[in-house]
Amino acid sequence: MKYFHFEALTLVLGTGAIIASIFVSPATSPQAVEVAGQLLLIVVIAGAIHWGRNGGFIAALLSIAIYVAMRVPLLQSQGLSTDVVTLLATRSITYALVGIVGGEIAGRIKYVFARLSSDTLIDPVTGVYSARYAADAIASGLGQWQRYQTHYSVVVITLARSVYAALKANRSRQLLRQAASHIRNDIRMVDDLASGGTGTYYILLPRTDAPGAAVVAERLSLGLREMLGTRDDSVTAAVLSAERDAQTLNHLVEKLNPTVAEIPPAATPTGDLRGASADRRQDPVA
């Protein structure tokens, strides 16, 4: 079973359970507002299982705002009585738990499905996606840009060999895995993280332009330096975007997985590489 099928099955079962709970209730008919509030859980579940923790959080906030707005007449008539506060708090906590906790679980399950579907999709050292997965994802992103001008960017983060090369093998693998975990926890669930080996990580950013990717690159670089307790030059970051670096991304795809067909370059590709730090640029394809 692919994660897409799991996602669809979870949404169908969750929707069925929520609708059933509306009708299999006490003898009295539920209020229209409570029915709507229950249906909002479907939105939260969809956000959590598709976009993960961040998507679930946003869906939960949206649902809380809508539910509170629907309860304005009750607030006006009864004020912040104990019953009203309890009602609002119960709904808010439910949305938050389903969105945030459910999204975090969905994110973990996504990686489990990738591991079960094919060992070649998961890097054995870091536990994140492999170079082959990155090649497929980048090729797909380039195709989306060519056909629909949908933005796609890749942040390439590289740890200097001095950070891990002198360590024992077990400690080196542990450090690389910790770095991967730190990055994965600091990106959107809709984004993906892949390892290129030798301390290189590819953050795959759908629907993200170059300026947005540069912000992500800078944030991740600073966070990794703080976590590792290393100098600035120990962690470098470069930004590649489909709209300006199509040719360079094509070369990266060929390097990561030579079997992936090359995507024709855009009409005016620049092919250059712009790092998050202007004084430390390096070609991730070389």
What pLDDT, on the 0 to 100 scale, is given for residue 91? 92
- Asked whether the whole model's pTM tops 0.85, one would answer no
* Residue 257 confidence (pLDDT): 81
263 CB neighbour count, 10 Å cutoff: 21
| CA 239 – CA 6 distance, rounded (Å) | 33
The CATH superfamily assigned to 120-275 is Reverse transcriptase/Diguanylate cyclase domain (3.30.70.270)
Average pLDDT, the chain: 83
* 263 close to 238: Cβ distance less than 8 angstroms: no
Contacts of residue 178, Cβ cutoff 8 Å, sequence gap at least 6 = 227
Per-domain residue ranges for the chain? 3-117, 120-275
Give the whole-number percent of the chain exceeding pLDDT 90.
41
Q: Nearest 5 degrees, angle CA 3-CA 51-CA 134?
A: 65
224-263: per-residue pLDDT in tens?
999 988 877 889 999 999 999 999 999 999 998 866 554 4
Which of these, 138, 131, 122, 222, lies nearest to 182 by C-alpha position?
222
Q: What percent of the chain has pLDDT over 70?
A: 84
Tell whether the model's pLDDT for residue 192 goes beyond 80: yes
Residues 119-136: b if buried by 16+ CB within 10 A, e if exposed: eebbbeebbbbbbbbbbb
| Strands 235-241 vs 152-159: parallel, antiparallel or unpaired | antiparallel
Phi, psi of 285 (to 5 degrees): -90, -25
User: Would you state the structure tokens that stand for residue 181, as one six-digit string?
Assistant: 């975990």
Matching residue, tokens 């730190």: 182
- Span 27-52, average pLDDT: 83
Per-residue pLDDT of 55-85, as tens digits, reads 888 999 999 999 999 999 888 888 888 888 9
DSSP code at position 118: -
